[in-house]
Homo-oligomer: A and B are copies of this chain.
Amino acid sequence: MSSKKIDIAAPVMKKNDRIAAALRDTFTKNGVFVINLISSPGSGKTTLLEQLARALGSAIAVIEGDIQTRRDAERLEKTGCRVHQIETGGACHLNAQNVADAVDALGVIQSPPKVLVIENVGNLVCPSGVDVGEHMKVAILSLPEGDDKVLKYPAVFTRIGALVINKIDLANVLDFDVERVVRECSTLNGDFRTFQLSAKTGAGVRPFCDFLLRKAAELAP
């Protein structure tokens, strides 16, 4: 007797992917470059966004994803950034419908920023497989997390267009082999840019801003 496995998650994912594709199309038509920012908790996503908000002003808007609390949105609001907080209430990643709702709430299409950052739930695993309509996935790996993480958590590093190595201000007190990380990521992924920076001090943030603006300019309608 032959048996056939039924993938019960498939219809849900197809619906998610349809919404994500429609979002991406809308973003592209409106010249909004969208990144899906993925990392572990505490890698510095929100601190980096505070720097980007100060540098880019009204050219950036942010969708914050967290399981619970508005803490990250409140931090960003202090910089004057246009931000909307999603609380997933337990879910370990954002989905495309979350983002579609936030895009409406933020008025992204009515008043398009050049760059929209979707800060995903702090989780190096689950967000990597879920399309939320972004043009590019960007991962942050910070020095205290260790330089052995790329091949242990390959799903996200396979799919990124940019790798941000954060907390380089701690390079004097931590052992972290940047070359190892980039080399191992290159075995998974033939097309990603690397940025070394400190979201805390601001060192190295400017080249990453310029990269985002250049990507937005390439989309401009």
Contact = CB atoms under 8 A, between A and B. Distances in A.
Interface of A: 8, 40-42, 66-69, 71-72, 90, 92, 121-126, 142, 144-146, 148-149, 151-155, 167, 170, 173
A121 to B, nearest CB: 7
A46 to B, nearest CB: 9
SS of A interface (majority): loop
Contacts of A71: 148, 151-152
Nearest to A173: B173
Contacts of A142: 42, 144
A152 B42 CA distance: 11
B41 A155 contact: no
B144 A41 contact: no
Nearest to A142: B144
B69 A151 contact: yes
A170 B170 CA distance: 10
Contacts of A148: 71
Given A40-B122, A42-B145, 6 more contacts: A40-B40, A71-B151, A71-B152, A122-B125, A123-B124, A170-B173
A156 to B, nearest CB: 10
21 contacts: A8-B8, A40-B41, A40-B124, A40-B145, A41-B124, A41-B149, A42-B144, A68-B151, A68-B152, A71-B151, A72-B152, A90-B155, A92-B92, A92-B123, A92-B126, A121-B125, A123-B125, A126-B126, A142-B144, A144-B170, A173-B173
Contacts of A145: 40-42, 144
Nearest to A145: B42
A148 B40 CA distance: 14
Contacts of A66: 152
Contacts of A149: 41-42
A167 B154 contact: no
Contacts of A69: 151-152
Contacts of A122: 40, 124-125, 152-153
A121 B40 CA distance: 12
